[in-house]
Amino acid sequence: MIKIDSFFWLLSFFLYVCAPVKFNISFSLLILLLYCINCLFFFKKNYSNLGYYNFSLMFCISFLLCNFVYPVFVHPYFPIGLMVHDFDDSYICRGAALAQLGISSFLFVENRVLMKCPFVKEKKKTILRNDVFDILTLSLIWIYALFVFFLSGISYNLYNEILDSSLTLISLVHILTIVTIIYRCSLYRNKRYSLFCIFKREWLLLTGLFVAFVGLTRIGDRGPILQLSFAIFTSYYFLVGRVSLKRLLIVLIVGLLGMIYIRNNRIDGQYQAAMEYREQKYGTTLPFYIEIFTDLIGNARCMYTGLEYVDKYGYLNGKSFIKPMLAPVPFLPTLATQSLFNVVPSQLSTGTILTYETEVLMGRNLEGVGTNNVVDIYMNAGLGGVCLLMGLFGGLIGVLETRKGNNVYFLFCYCILMSIAIYIPRSTIFDFFRTVLWGVFILYIRNRFPNKFKCYELAIHK
């Protein structure tokens, strides 16, 4: 007897094979319905273990916006309102079917892991106190916060240029921050503290983060705010106390409105200029309920452009995987790509390739269109790669779900993935690789050499 999750995967594969060569609204709607039913089955079956706040839910919401909203709700009514270039719409149905096959593989393997692996609650690996790490992290947070705050008076593009040379250091600060947040939240585990009391005890850490967030808001850089906010909330949710669904929805809605405000008020007017260009050239204004999600919905173009690229030039045979897989070792990606292909790693990424293809279609230079996690795999490893790697990714998430409750290393990995859950569908599934490996190593060093300073305890812990 075929189980339901197997049926979803087989049906997804069948629909991909039978995808029409021209855009068909009925087929796109069928794919959307299959996606919704597939997700509803998964979350209903695993609700008792996963609850209503988990990686898969955030990932699937973002995946929905990136792959299935455009074919059904945008293209039939606003065909040039969002995709401001001429692309071959014969790839829309095939792209939606490929995305459904990818997410079906992800949910299939994760569901099997959740069924077979018991959820372990007994704590075995905890995070130990290390005041040297805490003081170092606090110092770096304040340096970063003041640096960003004073940079917030310049343009968004100049800010990016300045920080490009410091990305490794900033990544290290983010990792140390998340490790410290996990430790601070663990101090309140199984204890009844009000949020006000926690804020009062952690004022130095939270004030530093607040100053950084203010600077980033003035600049218009939502990424670090979103990632650190998700990491903080995830640590609080799983270590301090569960949050009611009502409060969770309030937090998400406020966060969404905040991200929209930051996007619309970048100091260089980049977003407003893009909207004016679209309205002037195409005479199209998108409805508010579509415009607020354009960053995700517009990502669908990467899927179609990527499929067309493979049909024209063939597969990349894993070249784009070199950079993220070797990124944990400094300079190794550059050494590998220059030795093998005589190019820098960024030139092999699907984001760079799709940007170039889009520039050709539009006839003008672009800052970067990004990529799509499914088509990124497809361009490098084909259909089999999509099924295999998305399935392995689902298996990884399943393992983290079952072990995050008793092992701080798994909890740290889970926090990192939660912090980029909504980004992965419009990026690659390997973006977390370096951050996770570096973070686990830092966490190991922290636990390997625990220490205490009495003066620090009087100032911070009391």
Is the pLDDT reported for residue 253 higher than 60?
Answer: yes
pLDDT at 189: 82
The tokens for 220 are 């218009």
pLDDT at 265: 67
Continuous segment of H or E residues that includes residue 376:
helix 373-403
pLDDT at 229: 92
d(CA 236, CA 363): 48
Average pLDDT over residues 267-271: 56
Average pLDDT over residues 322-348: 89
d(CA 132, CA 134): 5
Average pLDDT over residues 191-209: 86
Residue 406, φ and ψ in degrees, nearest 5: -125, 0
Diameter over CA atoms, the chain: 70
If pLDDT is split at 50, 70 and 90, which confidence band does 190 have? confident
Average pLDDT over residues 47-69: 93
d(CA 416, CA 398): 15
The tokens for 140 are 């770096």
d(CA 87, CA 85): 6
pLDDT at 235: 92
Between the alpha carbon of residue 355 and those of residues 94, 127, 311, 344, 360, the distances in Å are 21, 43, 17, 16, 9
pLDDT at 192: 75
* pLDDT tens profile 92-135: 999 999 999 999 999 999 999 999 888 776 666 788 888 888 89
Average pLDDT over residues 246-269: 75
pLDDT at 368: 65
Q: What percent of the chain has pLDDT over 90?
A: 45
d(CA 434, CA 327): 6
Secondary structure tally for the chain: helices H, strands E: 23, 0
Is the pLDDT reported for residue 287 higher than 80?
Answer: no
pLDDT at 177: 93
Is the pLDDT reported for residue 247 higher than 70?
Answer: yes
Is the pLDDT reported for residue 284 higher than 90?
Answer: no
CB-facing half-sphere around the CA of 163: CA atoms within 13 A: 19
Is the pLDDT reported for residue 277 higher than 80?
Answer: no
Q: Which range among 4-18, 233-247, 420-434 shows the weakest confidence by mean pLDDT?
A: 233-247
pLDDT at 462: 45
CB 85 within 8 A of CB 361: yes
* pLDDT tens profile 145-169: 998 888 777 666 677 777 776 777 8
Of the ranges 9-23, 128-142, 191-205, which is most confident?
9-23
If pLDDT is split at 50, 70 and 90, which confidence band does 13 have? very high
